Structure 1
């Protein structure tokens, strides 16, 4: 025992003269002095406010709650309180509603298995619907579709797909020339090819197509 430790031992008010001669009691007293006691109220506050993150799988959320619960001294209620926190803190609102309706109330393992199955089901549904196969965490972090995102029929959506001009049926409209505004034809046949636009004064098109 070093000098600093001896000074601490000498000044410990919790030890009587007889206890200072008992090695086991000395070790307990020094441990209590050097190892700070956890604040149960704070530890439980952290546990009771824990929520699943948007990029966190249910297994990771459950493991985090188990670690937090270890310092909360819940005793025999620990599994039930972890279960309750998972149901309350999950991002799966549909899964939460389903679990709240179940009777008898599912235990911790059943809750985790239920939400895990829902995660897997969503992933399979996305793959079947034509969504690009997923690194699930990356997809949830990005929160947006890539430039080559496909629709549910597996076909790329063109920039003009689904757009219709006001007042006309898109299926009967003939394409127009970009230079004269008339029905589409070869550039060499365009009547505006050698004309000057009255609007912008540039050559090669009419004001109607400017």
Structure 2
């Protein structure tokens, strides 16, 4: 006899009302017995004499079952007969109505695959004693317990439906649904990437010149290819709608800085002080030494001129005093 294999642990149970009513003792005993039978065949215990088989069983099963064995007060010819006696003892503590109610109330839960649900139904059916109806009842409970209403309607339309065919249809539907979800998610990710790339392309390039210019000479990417006139620069004020001159052009009136308006009319940029095309302002990206802001030179800085005017005004006031 091979003693290298570890035997199953002793069968421990609580013989209280909760375990009796729910049938837990019967299920636990059935599991322990199956483990012992596997161990018995693995070590070739079935080749030994009946006396050896019974004593090995009593040694492994534990103290509580040894006390039950003494209450039998019988002689057994093999370990199988003693196991059958224990079956009768523990099966009497199983409530068949509760076992079947658990089976018929079992539905598929969230994040549970079809295969997992079928395995759970099969395990519950073992303690229900359905006999020849077991396969048909598992099939019916599977159809009415799945979460997918569309799949249930499809199964109900099938003729001569068996458990094997039902399981196959459910698995194929589950795989198809998972693949469709993956394709949809991949398509949405691709669309999002394309949208972001288009946004970056619009922000970084100009349709006319391929560059972006933020100077006041008219370098606005949204207006470059539209054929619309450039926006008036600082110091200009556009006349109201309808206020047109004889030549059909919109009247532009001078504000408090007529010199700057004249510069714009001559084509001089109020950021760099030179004349250039719309999107070629050399002051773009340069930092002013007066106000420390970008996109204009110090000689064209508004803040510097305001400061100079204030200093000149204060000097004249001091001379007058």
- Alignment TM class, shorter chain as reference: 0.5 to 0.7
Q: CA deviation at 1:59?
A: 1.3
TM-score scaled by length of structure 2: 0.37
In the TM superposition, 1:186-201 aligns within 5 A as: 188-189=294-295
Aligned length: 148
Q: TM-score, normalised by structure 1?
A: 0.53
Map 1:1-210; keep pairs closer than 5 Å: 4-5=67-68, 8-9=71-72, 23=76, 27=82, 31-33=87-89, 36-102=92-158, 104-131=159-186, 150=189, 153=191, 155=193, 188-189=294-295
Q: State how far apart, in whole Å, the 2-side matches of 1:96 and 1:41 are.
A: 27
* In 1: Cα distance, 2:175 partner to 2:69 partner: 60
Distance change in 2, residues 1:44/1:4 (3 Å)? closer
Find runs of 4+ consecutive structure 1 residues off by over 6 angstroms.
Answer: 183-186
Shift of 1:49: 1.1
Q: What is the aligned partner in structure 1 of residue 260 from structure 2?
A: none
C-alpha displacement of 1:121: 1.1
- Output the CA distance in 2 between the equivalents of 1:4 and 1:57: 44
Residues 39 and 189 (structure 1 numbering): CA distance in 2 closer, same or farther, change over 3 Å? same
Give the direction of change, closer, same or farther, for the CA distance of 1:154–1:75 in structure 2 (3 Å limit): farther
Runs of at least 5 residues in structure 2 that lack an aligned partner in the other structure: 1-57, 200-213, 215-219, 222-283, 286-292, 297-301, 304-321
Task: State the distance in 2 between where 1:43 and 1:126 align.
Answer: 37
Secondary structure of 1:72's aligned partner: coil
> How far apart, CA to CA, are the structure 1 residues paired with 2:101 and 2:176?
33
Q: More relative contact order in 1 or in 2 (CA 8 Å, sep 6+)?
A: 1
Q: Larger Rg: 1 or 2? A: 2
| Larger fraction in helix | 2
| C-alpha deviation, 1:81, in angstroms | 0.8
**What is the root-mean-square deviation of aligned Cα atoms in Å?**
4.1
Counterparts of 1:117 and 1:53, CA distance in 2: 19
